[in-house]
C-alpha cells in the first residue's frame, strides 16, 4: 500500500487524470497540490487549491507537511503514467526504518521516508518555481549518506509537458537559468558531478539548512492566474 501519493499540478489536468487512472495499488491518501487554482476535485483525492503557483519544491514540502504521520511519501509529476505492478514494486521496496529515497523514474516519480526527511531536510524552495530542486536534493542525499535506490519500472514520462506549453516557455526560459545559477552558488559547481562544496554555500552546518528568500519568490513568479487549464479531471 502507498501511504500518501502527492502530485503538484498547474494546467495539465488532462495528464493528471490520465496518471490517476494508471494507479493500480491501494493508496491511503492522494494529495493534489493545485498550483493553477482551478483543478476539479477527482473522487478520492484531497485537493489543495492555491491562489498562485507555489512551485514544485514547495508543493512537495506541502504534501509532506500536510500528512506528517505517513511513514513515507510517493511524489510524482502529473505527466507520468505507471505500468502494471510499478507501484506494488515500490511499496515492497520502501522501508519505514533506515533513511532512503527510491525512484521509479528519477524525480518524476520517487518516494522518500521519514528518515530521509529527518536527515536531509525539506526541499529547497528557493528553486522556484521549477527545475534543479531535484539535483539539489540528490546531492544532499549523497552528502548525508542517504541511499537512492533506482527501481526498474514501466513508468512513462512526458518530460516537461507543462513548460513546453507555449504560454509558459518564456517564463521557464527566464527562471530555469536563475535556478541553475542558484545551484552553482550553493554548491560551487554544476549539477550532477560539478559540485565542490560539502555544505550549503561552503559555510558549514547541515545539508538540510536553507533560508527562503521571499524576494526571490516574487522575482521568479510566473503569472498563471489568467491561463486556461487543459483538460478536466473527474
**Residue 78: its pLDDT value, please?**
95
- Asked whether 33 and 62 are in contact (CB, 8 A), the reply is yes
Q: pTM of the prediction?
A: 0.94
Say how many C-beta atoms besides its own lie within 10 A of residue 193's C-beta.
7
Q: What is the pLDDT of residue 168?
A: 84
Cis peptide leading into 129, omega within 30 of 0? yes
Question: In angstroms, rounded to a whole number, what is the distance separating the alpha carbons of residues 99 and 101?
Answer: 7
C-alpha cell at 168: 509558459
Residue with cell 521568479: 220
Q: Is residue 145 part of a domain?
A: yes
Residue 53, domain extent: 2-219
Any domain includes 38: yes
The CA-based dihedral angle spanning residues 165, 168, 172, 174, taken in that order and rounded to the nearest 10 degrees: 140
In a domain, 224, yes or no: no
Within a domain: residue 169?
A: yes
Q: What's the confidence (pLDDT) of residue 231? A: 62
Number of domains within the chain: 1
Q: How many Å apart are CA 161 and CA 76, to the nearest integer?
A: 13
Whole-number pLDDT of residue 163: 75
**Per the domain annotation, does 66 fall within a domain?**
yes
- Tell me, yes or no, whether 189 lies in a domain: yes
Q: What pLDDT shows up at residue 187?
A: 98
Q: Nearest 5 degrees, angle CA 123-CA 128-CA 134?
A: 45
User: Which residue ranges of the chain lie beneath pLDDT 70?
Assistant: 225-234
* For the chain, the helix, strand and coil percentages under 3-state DSSP, each to the nearest 5: 30, 20, 50
Q: How far is CA 60 from the centre of its chain?
A: 5
Residue 227, domain member (yes or no): no
**pLDDT, position 57:** 98
What is the Cα–Cα distance from 223 to 59, expressed in whole angstroms? 17
Quick check: 197 and 187 in contact, CB under 8 A?
yes
**232 belongs to a structural domain:** no
According to DSSP, the residues that pair with 12 across neighbouring strands are: 230
- CATH at residue 188: 3.90.550.60
Amino acid at each position: 500500500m502507498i501511504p500518501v501519493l502527492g502530485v503538484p499540478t498547474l494546467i495539465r489536468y488532462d495528464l493528471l487524470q490520465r496518471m490517476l487512472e494508471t494507479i493500480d495499488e491501494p493508496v491511503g491518501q492522494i494529495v493534489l497540490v493545485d498550483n493553477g487554482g482551478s483543478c476539479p476535485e477527482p473522487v478520492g483525492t484531497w485537493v489543495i487549491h492555491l491562489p498562485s503557483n507555489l512551485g514544485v519544491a514547495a508543493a512537495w514540502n506541502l504534501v509532506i507537511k500536510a500528512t506528517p504521520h505517513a511513514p513515507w511519501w510517493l511524489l510524482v509529476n502529473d505527466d507520468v503514467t505507471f505500468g502494471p505492478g510499478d507501484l506494488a514494486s515500490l511499496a515492497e521496496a520502501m522501508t519505514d526504518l533506515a533513511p532512503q529515497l527510491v525512484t521509479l523514474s528519477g524525480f518524476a516519480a520517487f518516494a522518500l521516508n521519514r528518515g530521509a526527511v529527518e536527515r536531509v531536510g525539506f526541499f529547497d524552495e528557493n528553486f522556484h518555481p521549477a527545475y534543479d530542486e531535484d539535483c539539489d536534493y540528490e546531492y544532499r542525499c549523497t552528502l548525508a549518506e542517504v541511499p537512492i535506490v533506482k527501481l526498474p519500472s514501466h513508468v512513462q514520462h512526458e518530460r516537461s509537458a507543462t513548460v513546453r506549453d507555449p504560454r509558459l516557455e518564456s517564463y521557464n526560459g527566464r527562471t530555469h537559468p536563475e535556478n541553475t545559477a542558484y545551484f552553482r552558488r550553493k554548491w560551487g559547481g554544476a549539477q550532477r558531478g560539478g559540485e565542490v562544496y560539502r555544505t550549503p554555500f561552503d559555510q558549514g552546518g547541515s545539508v538540510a539548512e536553507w533560508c527562503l528568500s521571499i524576494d526571490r519568490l516574487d522575482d521568479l513568479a510566473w503569472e498563471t492566474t489568467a491561463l486556461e487549464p487543459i483538460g478536466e479531471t473527474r
